[in-house]
Structure formats: C-alpha cells, structure tokens
Structure 1
Amino acid sequence: MKIAGLILAAGGSSRMGDQNKLLQLIDGTPMVKKVVASCLHSNLSSIYVVLGHDSEWINNCISTEGINFVNNEDWRLGMASSINSGIGAMNNDFDGAMILLGDMPYIETKLIDQMIELFQEYKIVVPVKNGRQGNPVLFSSTFFNDLQSIDGDKGAKRVIQENFSSVVPTHVMTNAIFRDIDTPQQMKDSVGTS
C-alpha cells in the first residue's frame, strides 16, 4: 500500500499581511516546515509539496531529501488548483493521497499514521472530533479524478459531501485538526499553545 502526502503550500496568505504565513515561526520553526517534519516521520510513502506564491522562499525553507516539489502556476485560482496539480504529479502511482494544509502546524505524525492504518480502497478517511470533521483527509485513488475536477477555494469538501457513504471517520481528541493559521491574531493566539 502506497500513500502519498500532499501538502498544499501555494496560497497567497493575503490575510496574514506582508510575510507569507507559511514562513512564520512556530516554536522557532517555520510553520510549513513543521507540517513537512510530521510527514517525514510518518508512514507516508512519498511527500509532495505544492508551491505557488513565494515558491522559492518556501522551497528553500523546506528543501530536503524525500520531498517532491510541484509548481502550481494557477495558485491564484484557489486551493482546488493546488489539489489538481498535486494529484496530477503523482502519476497514478499511489493507492491513496493524504491532503494536508501547510498552515496547520499542529498535525502530528501520530494522527497521520492513525489515519493510514484505517485506509481502505474506495474510502475517504476523515478525522472527527465531537461530530465535526477536520483535516487532513486521506483519499483512496478511486477519488483522484473527482479531486481533479473540483475548482475554487473550497478544497475537497465537495468530494467528501458527494461521497459521504464512503467516509471512514477516525475519532480524535486533538483540536489540531481544526487549527489552521490564517491571520495575525490566529498566529498570536497559537504561540506557545501547541
């Protein structure tokens, strides 16, 4: 079983201000680098990072062995374009893909591996806390064509909603599945609260 990690790191960070949020430090480490580290220590077979805005800076920040970089020249079109670019770069070599957001630095290796253990063909593994779905999400390759047909900035929510009978929930205790950082206030609130 081969599962790829697909880290979305192409967005413009417009709500954060001048500096790309993915390069903001969390406990002394750039946010996106924390996400990459969790993936590198997990049971993911390969890791793809989709770049767009500030691609050179982010590439330099996380450039390491074991990372495949994908350039999304259409990053301004929204998250769906990054998913499309990433899935396309995988060349159908994987049984599934876990989509992770580069602005969710508190996702731990333990959660990634827990979701991989629940992986099944024709299924979508979603972390859930108190009935609320979060991220990351693990999609069987069965859904790759659906993922490549979405558009806009809603990500893969539509694919999950349209295939709800295929969802395998993994119940978790952590709020990390909801904690993305989009604004200076969220950044300030997150400091020291891993």
Structure 2
Amino acid sequence: MSVVALVLAAGQGTRFGTDKRRAGLADGRSLLVHSVERARTVFDDVRVVLREGEQAQDFGLPSECRVVYSPEAAQGIGHSLAAGVAALVDSSAQSVAILLADMPWIAPATLSQLAVAATASTIVFPLYEGRRGHPVLFGRDLWPALTQLKGDEGARSVLQAHRQCCVRVAVDDAGVLRDVDTPDVLRDHG
C-alpha cells in the first residue's frame, strides 16, 4: 500500500504564544523539522502544508520535502486539510496519512503499523488505551470529501459520515495522543 504523508503546519498555534513550529526540542531540531523527519523515516513522499508566502527553507525543511500552500489557513484546519489533499492530484498513493506538525512523539513503528492497515477505501486511526489518536489515514476514495472541508473542524465530518470505513488499530504508543499546545509541554516532555 502506498501512502503519502501530509504534515499540517499552517495553523496559527495561538495558545503557544509564538510560532511553535520553530520551537526547539531537546535534540536541537525545531518541532516542525522533527515531525517532518519522523514522517520521512516511514513515508517516501512527505508534503508539508504551510501558510501562503512561507518557504520550506525558512523552517530548515529538507529540500526534497514538497510544500503545499493553504491560502485560507487562518480560517481553520479544515481549509489547510482541503488544500493539502487537493494538491495530491499528482500522487499515485492509495492513502494519505494526515499528520499534525505539533505531534513529534509518534513512533515510526506506529506510523508503519498504520500504513500497513490502510487501503483505498478505509479510514485508519490509532487507538491508545481506548482513546483515538493521530495520525489518521484516509483512503483515496475519501479524498474528494476531504477537499470540501472548511473551518476549524478538521476531518470530523468525514469520519462521522463514513464510520463504516473506519479501521481502529490498537497501538502501544502514547505519542499518538501527545501534542504541543504550550511551551510547558516541551519543557516537560522535550
């Protein structure tokens, strides 16, 4: 199964106080670079959704990392997700892994486990101790619905409308639940 990774990094991150994509982790890499490099260990094709006018080199992203722009990113994650999936028209992948740039602690083994479960007609997500986490992988058959998203709801409406397509994968990885909303999270979990 071929899976393309789409790292959503166009949000405003207002609760963080500054641009959290540039916040440093314990290893010296920025939050965004760490998340992208983690995805690249598993997925051959990794694309990053940024705000219009931003450049990959501004964040120290690898040159082979393709950037997708979300002109309406300020209106919510739904717009960024729709722009990212719409830009996949040149991809032959049968599924897209939607990764959030502020979730750097997902283990590569977990990403691989989820990719193995993906098909063109499923929605795959991890369950850790009974709680749904990230990333979520959407089969190609569901991409048209994702391109219609708007606002700040993310893909919740697509998940609800296609419950019969959902595949839950039990994982032993708390990283699927851990995001960085405030600087304290980085200090505590670096």
Q: TM > 0.5 between the two?
A: yes
Q: 1:53, CA displacement in angstroms? A: 7.3
SS in 2 for 1:145: helix
For residues 51-90 of structure 1, give each alpha carbon's deviation from its aligned partner in whole angstroms, at most 9, with x where no partner exists.
017834x642233133110111111010011111111111
Q: 2:106 maps to what in 1? A: 107
Q: 1:10 maps to what in 2? A: 10
Does 1:133 find its partner at 2:132? yes
- Alpha-carbon distance between aligned partners in 2 of 1:12 and 1:54, rounded to the nearest angstrom: 14
Q: 1:53 to 1:102 in 2, by over 3 A?
A: farther
8 Å CA contact 1:124–1:137 kept in 2: the answer is: yes
Please show how residues 86-105 of structure 1 align to structure 2 within 5 Å.
86-91=84-89, 93=91, 94-105=93-104
For residues 87-115 of structure 1, give each alpha carbon's deviation from its aligned partner in whole angstroms, at most 9, with x where no partner exists.
11111622110000000010122111111
8 Å CA contact 1:12–1:53 kept in 2: the answer is: no
Q: 1:22, CA displacement in angstroms? A: 1.1
Percent identical residues? 28
8 Å CA contact 2:107–2:173 kept in 1: the answer is: no
Does 1:172 find its partner at 2:180? no
Does 1:70 find its partner at 2:68? yes
Unaligned runs of at least 5 residues, structure 2? none
Q: 1:161, CA displacement in angstroms? A: 1.9
- Alpha-carbon distance between aligned partners in 2 of 1:189 and 1:55, rounded to the nearest angstrom: 29
Q: 2:78 maps to what in 1? A: 80
Q: 1:61 maps to what in 2? A: 59
8 Å CA contact 2:94–2:119 kept in 1: the answer is: no
Q: 1:159 maps to what in 2? A: 158
Farther off after superposition, 45-54 or 101-110: 45-54
- Alpha-carbon distance between aligned partners in 1 of 2:183 and 2:117, rounded to the nearest angstrom: 35
1:80 maps to amino acid: G
- Alpha-carbon distance between aligned partners in 2 of 1:110 and 1:170, rounded to the nearest angstrom: 13
Count how many residue pairs are aligned between Structure 1 and Structure 2: 188
- Alpha-carbon distance between aligned partners in 2 of 1:92 and 1:145, rounded to the nearest angstrom: 14
Q: 1:117 maps to what in 2? A: 116
- Alpha-carbon distance between aligned partners in 2 of 1:154 and 1:175, rounded to the nearest angstrom: 23
Q: 1:178, CA displacement in angstroms? A: 0.9
- Alpha-carbon distance between aligned partners in 1 of 2:10 and 2:19, rounded to the nearest angstrom: 10
- Alpha-carbon distance between aligned partners in 2 of 1:158 and 1:59, rounded to the nearest angstrom: 34
Does 1:31 find its partner at 2:31? yes
- Alpha-carbon distance between aligned partners in 2 of 1:53 and 1:47, rounded to the nearest angstrom: 18
Farther off after superposition, 1-10 or 179-188: 179-188
Q: 1:174, CA displacement in angstroms? A: 1.4
